[in-house]
Amino acid sequence: MSQERDTRTAFMEATYRALCTHGYADLTMQDIADETDKSKAALHYHFDGKDDLFREFLAYLHEGFAETIADHPEGTPVERLVALVRRVLDPVDDSADQQFNTAFMEIKAQAPYREGYREVLRRFDADLRTEVADLVREAIENGQYDEETDPEEIAEHVLTYIHGTWTRAAAVGADVVAMREHLVDDLLDLLVDGASVPVDVDATEDRGLAAADPDEPHENSSEDVVDPR
Amino acid sequence: MSQERDTRTAFMEATYRALCTHGYADLTMQDIADETDKSKAALHYHFDGKDDLFREFLAYLHEGFAETIADHPEGTPVERLVALVRRVLDPVDDSADQQFNTAFMEIKAQAPYREGYREVLRRFDADLRTEVADLVREAIENGQYDEETDPEEIAEHVLTYIHGTWTRAAAVGADVVAMREHLVDDLLDLLVDGASVPVDVDATEDRGLAAADPDEPHENSSEDVVDPR
């Protein structure tokens, strides 16, 4: 890695830390420089202001996100789909994560006003949509989902639901795991009769968008399918 | 209505307009006063700063929201449930509405840092949750949904999905009507075999979280069920 690249990575990591401490709205270039051993002048040498820095920061986050969603464990398509949802909606346990989730929501709210923000945010959505739709298609080929299932519609549904989970967690402190497991139940409810995944819930007989105990499938699912973080 | 009350209502309406123009983050007490025929001093006489004003503004918005969700048209429980979802997720047509949706997202992102914001935001959620759960309970009694359906789980699902719709609309300009009709399809998919509502979609045979054409039920539903706005 070149020195230039090291410096930029250091600034990205500093931006993450500064966001967790200050939030987005009040964040200054000085706050970010303070998280490094560089000066504010050095930060301005690399970035043409806060908007420019944040376009790169969003791209940096997107890179990590793309790696996260591509990192599938072994298993049937539906197992991998459930694992994907659980990985993306990993509960925010410590306060730094919660602060970051809230700051990210501020950034989403600023997107209409800031050049280039929406374009990167759309890439997060496009990647997740593609990944979910591909897994649903595999599940259909594999016989876990029936042929009437529409991969694109499921992907859209998952995307909206995931954004809602993040928003409710940030806005009113709603429980991420409970919301996430509702979505998991939705995905298990689509299994054709007789199909199953190593999750202790009789998904095909449930009537309701998420009728099962939200904690059950999580506790009983195979360790192979779940990111143990 | 007393003069004091008139004045406060005028300030609330001014806050709405100022939010649409300036967003939340950069909004000053002066911007709000500028939307009225009163001075900034008068605004400060009534409100102890921006946070205090916004606590009252959120309560004012909540009052309107509570009226909106309580205003049910005639129809079966599931028709009224679908109408409720369509009313809450009314598409944002003009740019003022879009600006307001975005500003409201900024407010949600500020909620963890501002005293009293979360408490009011939770009331929006609690009211919507109660209304949805009550309608699902009625649908079960009425035989439209079967007895395994869990009203509280459906209500949670609807809540998360609605927040996701608002967030995606603000962050990346996603299509509110398409997302909303996915949710409507979810609710129609829960109908027991043989039950129907005046919506031209064979909900009980659909396999998929939202397999039907999102525009179909909207176009073909009875005018009685849908707020024509």
ipTM: 0.81
What CATH class is the domain B72-220?
mainly alpha
Q: What is the pLDDT of residues B50-85, one digit of tens each?
A: 999 999 999 999 999 999 898 878 899 999 999 999
Asked if B168 lies within 8 A of A211 by C-beta distance, the reply is: no
pLDDT value for B211? 38
> What confidence tens digit (pLDDT) does each residue in B99-129 have?
888 889 989 988 888 889 999 999 999 999 9
Residue A93 has pLDDT above 90, yes or no: no
- 3-state class (DSSP) for residue B145: strand
Query: Hey, where are the domains in chain A?
Result: 1-47, 51-220
How many alpha carbons lie under 13 Å from residue B48 in its C-beta half-sphere?
A: 3
Q: Alpha-carbon Rg of chain A, whole angstroms?
A: 20
**B97 contacts in A (CB within 8 Å)?**
none
User: Can you tell me which residue has the tokens 């973080």?
Assistant: A229
DSSP code per residue over chain A:
--HHHHHHHHHHHHHHHHHHHHTTTT--HHHHHHTSSS-HHHHHHH-SSHHHHHHHHHHHHHHHHHHHHH---SS-HHHHHHHHHHHHT----SHHHHHHHHHHHHHHHHGGGSTTHHHHHHHHHHHHHHHHHHHHHHHHHTTSS-TT--HHHHHHHHHHHHHHHHHHHHHH---HHHHHHHHHHHHHHTSPTT---SSSS-GGG--STT-S-TTHHHHHS-TTTS---
Superfamily of domain A1-47: Homeodomain-like (1.10.10.60)
Query: Which among A109, A153, A179 is the nearest to B210, CB-wise?
Result: A153
**Tell me: the pLDDT tens digits for A188-208?**
989 998 777 765 343 333 334
Query: Domain A51-220 class?
Result: mainly alpha
Q: Is the pLDDT of residue B149 over 50?
A: yes
Name chain B contacts of A159, Cβ cutoff 8 Å: 164, 168
Q: How far is B44 from chain A (nearest CA, A)?
A: 23
A115/B138: higher pLDDT: B138
> Residue B93: pLDDT band by 50, 70, 90 thresholds?
low
Nearest residue, CB atoms, A182 vs list B25, B149, B153: B153
